[in-house]
């Protein structure tokens, strides 16, 4: 008990070694690869340059304003495009210290998903909510995994379908209402 000076005795080395394969192989901190945290070894990484050659920048790329310059190497997965691209570009005016930076990026992400869904319809390869969400796996495994189990996540999993389908339902309702209103005005 912490109310007195000593802790309960742990199991002995022999007991632990008998029960646990590899017990104590890294007992000595100097055997642990990330100890000490910083270990200066400039020749140990395989790099044969002092500063990397610069990757060509084919189109202007956003960067954190906390960087002095564009890093010599960067990712080119999805360049900024469309409305979401404009929102994200604006977000990069703020440093990583500012909530505005991250909240604008999240807003850009939500807009981007809409752009993609509408674009997929226009391109004739519409998003398929059944295959893309993998919900078919629920048919075989959904009940067994949840019924009678003490899982803490079942109390919020019902929100997921609303997150995924809710905006579509709302947009659908909105579209129907708009069409009706136009018809009424036309009459």
Partner 1 sequence: MRAMVYRGPYKVRVEEKDRPGIEHPNDAIVRVQLAAICGSDLHLYHGMMPDTRVGMTFGHEFIGVVEEVGSSVERLQVGDRVMVPANIYCGSCFYCTRGLYSNCHNVNANATAVGALYGYSHTAGGYDGGQAEYVRVPFADVGPTVIPDWMDDEDAVLLTDATATGYFGAQLGDIAEGDTVVVFGAGPVGLFAAKSAWFMGAGRVIVIDHLDYRLEKARTFAHAETYNFTEYDDIVVHLKRITDWFGADVAIDAAGAEADGNFIQHVTGTKLKLQGGSPVALNWAIDSVRKGATISVMGAYGPIFSAVKFGDAMNKGLTLRMNQAPMKRQWPRLFEHIQAGHLKPSDIVTHRIPLEHIADGYHLFSAKLDNCIKPLVVVGD
Q: Which of 60, 83, 86, 96 binds partner 1 (CB under 8 A)?
A: 96
Residue 105 sits in the site that holds partner 1 (CB under 8 A)? yes
118 binds partner 1 (CB under 8 A): no
Closer by beta carbon to partner 1, 156 or else 184: 156
Given the complex with partner 1, which of 56 and 124 has the nearer CB atom? Answer: 56
The helix/strand/coil state of 41 is coil
The token pair that represents 130 in the structure block: 């059944």
Nearest CA to 93 among 61, 59, 60, 63? Answer: 63
- CA separation (Å) from 42 to 38, 94, 181? 12, 34, 70
Q: Which is nearer to partner 1, 153 or 186 (CB)?
A: 153
**Residue 82 — φ and ψ, nearest 5°?**
65, -160
What x/- string results for residues 39 through 78 when contact with partner 1 is judged by CB under 8 A? xxxx--xxxxxxxxx-xx----xxxx-xx--xxxxxxxxx
Binding of partner 1 at residue 157 (CB under 8 A)?
Answer: yes
Contact between 179 and partner 1 per CB under 8 A: no
Can residue 90 be called a binding residue for partner 1 (CB under 8 A)?
no
Rounded Cα–Cα distance for residues 77 and 86 (Å):
17
């Amino acid at each position: 008990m912490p109310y007195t000076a000593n802790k309960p005795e742990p199991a002995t080395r022999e007991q632990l070694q008998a029960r646990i394969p590899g017990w104590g192989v890294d007992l000595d901190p100097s055997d642990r690869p990330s100890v000490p945290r910083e270990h200066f070894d400039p020749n140990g990484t395989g790099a044969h340059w002092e500063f990397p050659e610069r990757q060509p920048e084919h189109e202007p790329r956003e960067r954190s304003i906390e960087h002095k310059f564009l890093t010599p190497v960067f990712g080119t997965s999805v360049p900024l495009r469309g409305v979401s691209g404009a929102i994200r570009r604006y977000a990069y005016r703020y440093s990583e210290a500012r909530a505005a930076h991250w909240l604008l990026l999240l807003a850009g992400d939500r807009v981007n998903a809409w752009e993609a869904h509408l674009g997929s319809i226009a391109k004739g390869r519409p998003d398929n909510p059944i295959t893309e969400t993998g919900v078919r796996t629920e048919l075989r495994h959904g009940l067994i995994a949840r019924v009678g189990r003490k899982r803490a996540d079942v109390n919020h999993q019902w929100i997921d379908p609303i997150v995924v389908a809710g905006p579509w339902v709302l947009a659908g309702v909105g579209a129907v209402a708009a069409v009706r209103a136009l018809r009424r005005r036309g009459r």
